[in-house]
Amino acid sequence: MEKQEIKNKLFSRLDKYCRIHTTSDPRSETYPSSKNQKDLARVLDKELKEIGMKNVSTDKYCYVTAFLPGNVKTKKTIAFLAHMDVSPAACGKGVKPKIHKNYKGGPIDINSKKGIILTPTNCPPLKEHIGDDIVTASGDTLLGADNKAGISIIMTAMEYLIKNPNLPRPNIKIAFTPDEEIGRGTEKFDVKKFAADAGYTFDGDLKGAVEAENFNADFVEINIKGKSVHPGTAKNAMANAARIAAEICSSWPENMTPENTDGYDGFIMFDEIKGNIENASLSGIIREHDIKKLKKMEKLLLKIIEEKKQKYPLSQININIKEQYRNMKSVIDKNPQVLSKLIKAVKKSGIEPVIKPIRGGTDGARLSFMGLPCPNVFTGGYNYHGPYEWISLDSMYLSYKTLINICEEWTN
């Protein structure tokens, strides 16, 4: 009975939030990057007040925060976070969530007219969700379970804790943030003022997933100055910058590119190459979970550049490597309770934690280095950022239970 009631609440919230258009805009210079994120912020601000949260506020940058005082002796304050924006990679306007109850196996018709059909062949994890209630969009848009499922889970758990004051809980802080999808979700966030001891972003994917490691990330830019002369008299006199750029790119080992790596293997991806005989440039990203291996890859790249300098003495080649973000593991390792309590909480929900590295960065990673150790927790969704996105309401329920269990874990 109770499970069904919670699932109903989770669905009605997810449905409501997904219908509000909150696509973030990478070209915008404002905070939040798109005005429509404020529409969801207003709804959430009002709802947090209605369920009985304290100190509810929305600041000018669109951070919605709230507080729930603890009811045990511990002075610890634990935070739960989710982001309000959806990815600009697909249309996020006019989302109409659809519920497919009691999944029996086989295809799920998202929009057969458009040929958008979810099957166990194009998405094998579906097979593990027989009997679940599955939510999709309607074929024209993404769903936005990333990350409105996280908001629904947090909101529903807070409502439950407030209605059951006998359940032990630490001090709890909530933050709903804008612009995560464009990498700016924490830029204006005042971690000191927020003042929590540990945080959890509910922004993961598959059932049971716990993510406390992400990439170390650097950015590389290589500029090449060539020497242009008439091609008829170019022998031993020309340096073709464009050709040198292409050669650098193809000298990078294929087994260290994103197309050929997964799990803990790192890569360099050159994502822009442009130029002519006189000038050329290459830029790219460098990613690796292990900082020592990151530095080793960079050494290899520097060696390649050195070789090209020798080979093309008429050219000038400059390389510049800049730090982007670091693996939160180093912060979590110093605060092991943050992860061990999460793992216990997942197990207590009756599932085995799937501990996996993030092949990217998260708001949690940035927050960890700003002073709030912050692993990422599953919500139960798949195929984010496109029309095939789906989420299991039953997995959302397990994520919700994990959140309640995290609270209990922090009272002892």
The residue (of 182 and 280) whose beta carbon lies closer to Zn ion is 182
Q: SS3 string of the chain?
A: CHHHHHHHHHHHHHHHHHCCCCECCCCCCCCCCCCCHHHHHHHHHHHHHHHCCEEEEECCCCCEEEEECCCCCCCCEEEEEEECCECCCCCCCCCCCEEECCCCCCCEEEEHHHCEEECCCCCHHHHHHCCCCEEECCCCCCCCHHHHHHHHHHHHHHHHHHHCCCCCCCEEEEEEECCCCCCCCCCCCCHHHHCCCEEEECCCCCCCEEECCCCEEEEEEEEEECECCCHHHCCCCCECHHHHHHHHHHHCCHHHCHHHCCCCCCEEEEEEEEECCCEEEEEEEEEECCHHHHHHHHHHHHHHHHHHHHHCCCCEEEEEEEEEECCCHHHHHHCHHHHHHHHHHHHHCCCCCEECCCCCCCHHHHHHHHCCCCCEECCCEECCCCCCCEEEHHHHHHHHHHHHHHHHHCCC
The residue (of 146 and 211) whose beta carbon lies closer to Zn ion is 146
Q: Give min distance, CB of 309 to Zn ion, in A.
A: 42
**Contact footprint for Zn ion (CB under 5 A):** 146-147, 203
The residue (of 150 and 170) whose beta carbon lies closer to Zn ion is 150
Is 82 in contact with 202 (CB distance < 8 Å)? yes
Q: Give min distance, CB of 8 to Zn ion, in A.
A: 24
Tell me which of 45, 47, 85, 159 is the catalytic residue.
85
The residue (of 147 and 216) whose beta carbon lies closer to Zn ion is 147
The residue (of 147 and 152) whose beta carbon lies closer to Zn ion is 147
Say which residue the tokens 């209630």 belong to: 133
Q: Give min distance, CB of 344 to Zn ion, in A.
A: 24
Q: Give min distance, CB of 180 to Zn ion, in A.
A: 6
Decide if 211 is catalytic: no
Q: Give min distance, CB of 142 to Zn ion, in A.
A: 11
Q: Give min distance, CB of 204 to Zn ion, in A.
A: 8
Tell me which of 45, 146, 179, 180 is the catalytic residue.
180
The residue (of 203 and 409) whose beta carbon lies closer to Zn ion is 203
What CA–CA distance (Å, rounded) separates 200 from 337? 12
Decide if 180 is catalytic: yes
Q: Give min distance, CB of 333 to Zn ion, in A.
A: 24
The residue (of 147 and 392) whose beta carbon lies closer to Zn ion is 147
Say which residue the tokens 């982001």 belong to: 83
Is 188 in contact with 368 (CB distance < 8 Å)? no
Known catalytic residues?
Answer: 85, 180
